[in-house]
Amino acid sequence: MLKIYNTLTRDKQDFKPITPNSVRMYVCGMTVYDYCHLGHARVMVVFDMVYRWLKASGYDVTYVRNITDIDDKIIRRAAENKESIHALTQRFIDAMHEDADALGVQHPDHEPRATQFVPQMLEMIAQLEQNGLAYQAADGDVNYAVRKFDGYGKLSGKSLEDLRAGERVEVTSSKNDPLDFVLWKHAKDSEADEVKWDSPWGKGRPGWHIECSAMGSKLLGKHFDIHGGGADLQFPHHENEIAQSEGAQLHEKGSRGQYVNYWMHNGFVRVDEEKMSKSLGNFFTIREVLKKYDAEVVRFFILRAHYRSPLNYSDAHLDDAKGALTRLYTALKSLPVRPELVEGERVDWSEPYAQRFKDAMDDDFNTPEAVAVLFDLANEVNRSQSPEAAAQLRALAGVLGLLQRDPQAFLQGGAGEGGLDDAAIAAQIEARIAAKKARDFAEADRIRKELLEAGIVLEDGAAGTTWRRA
């Protein structure tokens, strides 16, 4: 049985969906005012892995990953660029999709944009006001009254007293309590008309937290199975989501329904053991990384770490991931997989390697152990030269979105700036063959060494000479 570490209960729990054989999952997506960075890459790849495993386990999955296309950062960036909000956000939504496709991330079933769900947000805010949990302040903002929601802090483990002690008291704030957070921001004269919506509280726009509560409830129901996101969202974003969503469900006698059963959070991305941040100058976009490394190498790098552990990015770790993925592809290259053995990428789950793989994935998506199974199976392929073992390797890896390319295409790909292209390599190989025929072995060795210095490894076999990039 699948076990998931639930942030809410702080332990691994047997996964029991609300509706048998059906899973509803919501993941907090990107705020689209700039290119996606490595932290975004991890969220996309991790929950793509979860999505794939749930489907491989036989569940009918509805996966929602939202897009935040209205907030303070977006408004500022559009003003700086002198472009419309829509033009800015659409440009970076397109870029996000390009990055996700490169990383082999499947499209979610729904990808709602915040601006498309303002009516649902207004409805939820009105319900919160009716339930005594929201109020309009003197400055026009509508705020959530945190102290009126019993259980605030249950996800993060923070008490109201601890939170209150750490808050700054702003003299100019019109909040009833510094812990209160905004649900609806009143419009400013300086803001463009495209970020102003009519509401019972005057023109304005939604706060950040309310969008996920409204979209999740609308698309998945008021009670669903899994909610995911980065560890940085646990507080205050996800804590506030619970307060909003459960607060809106208050019944006459004060009882309320549960919003989400299982909360999942992936770990931070670090760079050379320091937290990735713009202020430290160690901030990398996906596009920057993909200029240097194959996208599947980046995906493999992310997946061979457990999703809850910190992920330390460095060139050395990416180089190591490239070498490891090369070993897996090399096993398939030595024995081409027969198409009839991988029809529909089917896994033989009764086979011992597949059973180990399944046990690992059912243990809170333990991809490091699952990847270890792939290497053991690759060793079996190299030892036995079994087409069935090769088919199983490719099929199991396919569950993680790996090893689905032609092995030779992967091994020969990735010529960088100034690197040798395929035609130049082929010419060198032909020159080496000619030198060997002329028994000029010194020249043949020189060509091999020259190619190796250029990052090209020659492999002589019964079928002739093949090559791969080091």
Percentage with pLDDT > 70 across the chain: 93
CA distances from residue 69 to 16, 196, 207, 305, 360 in whole angstroms, order as listed: 33, 13, 12, 31, 37
User: Does residue 47 register a pLDDT over 70?
Assistant: yes
User: Does residue 118 register a pLDDT over 80?
Assistant: yes
- Comparison of pLDDT for 452 and 383, the residue scoring more: 383
Range with top average pLDDT, 141-145, 330-334, 413-417, 453-457: 141-145
Q: Which two tokens stand for residue 220?
A: 């998945």
Among 458, 434, 440, 460, smallest CA distance to 448 is for 458
- Comparison of pLDDT for 464 and 35, the residue scoring more: 35
Residues whose CB falls within 8 Å of the CB of residue 419, separated by 6 or more in sequence, listed in order: 454, 455
For 223-261, write each residue's pLDDT tens digit: 999 999 999 999 999 999 999 999 999 764 555 789 999
Collapse the DSSP code of 457 into the 3-class scheme (helix H, G, I; strand E, B; otherwise coil) and give the result: strand
User: Does residue 149 register a pLDDT over 80?
Assistant: yes
User: Do 357 and 373 meet the contact criterion of CB atoms below 8 Å apart?
Assistant: yes
Q: What is the pLDDT of residue 169?
A: 47
Question: What would the mean pLDDT of 440-458 be, rounded to a whole number?
Answer: 80
Q: What is the pLDDT of residue 50?
A: 98
User: Does residue 331 register a pLDDT over 80?
Assistant: yes
Percentage with pLDDT > 90 across the chain: 73
Q: Which segment of 47-56, 70-79, 277-286 scores lowest on mean pLDDT?
A: 277-286
Domain 270-411 has CATH 1.20.120.640: yes
In the chain, where are the structural domains located? 15-266, 270-411, 422-469
User: Does residue 345 register a pLDDT over 90?
Assistant: no
pTM of the predicted structure, to 2 decimals: 0.90
- Comparison of pLDDT for 35 and 343, the residue scoring more: 35
Mean pLDDT, all residues of the chain:
90
Task: Identify the DSSP state of 235.
Answer: I
The arrangement of strands across the sheet holding 204-206 comes to: 134-136, 142-144, 181-186, 204-206
Question: What would the mean pLDDT of 87-102 be, rounded to a whole number?
Answer: 98
Q: What is the pLDDT of residue 333?
A: 87
- Comparison of pLDDT for 278 and 239, the residue scoring more: 239
If you search the block for the tokens 């929950």, which residue do you land on? Answer: 47
- The CATH number for 15-266, chosen from 3.40.50.620, 3.40.640.10, 1.10.10.10, 3.30.420.40, is 3.40.50.620
Confidence of residue 417 (pLDDT cuts 50, 70, 90): very low
* Letter string b/e over residues 324-361, b meaning 16 or more CB atoms within 10 A of that residue's CB: bbbebbbbbbebebeeebbeeeebeeeeebbebbbebb
User: Do 262 and 79 meet the contact criterion of CB atoms below 8 Å apart?
Assistant: no
Residues whose CB falls within 8 Å of the CB of residue 410, separated by 6 or more in sequence, listed in order: 294, 296, 325, 326, 329
Q: What is the pLDDT of residue 343?
A: 47
Question: What would the mean pLDDT of 117-140 be, rounded to a whole number?
Answer: 96
Q: Which segment of 29-43, 55-69, 147-161, 245-259 scores lowest on mean pLDDT?
A: 245-259
Q: What is the pLDDT of residue 171?
A: 45
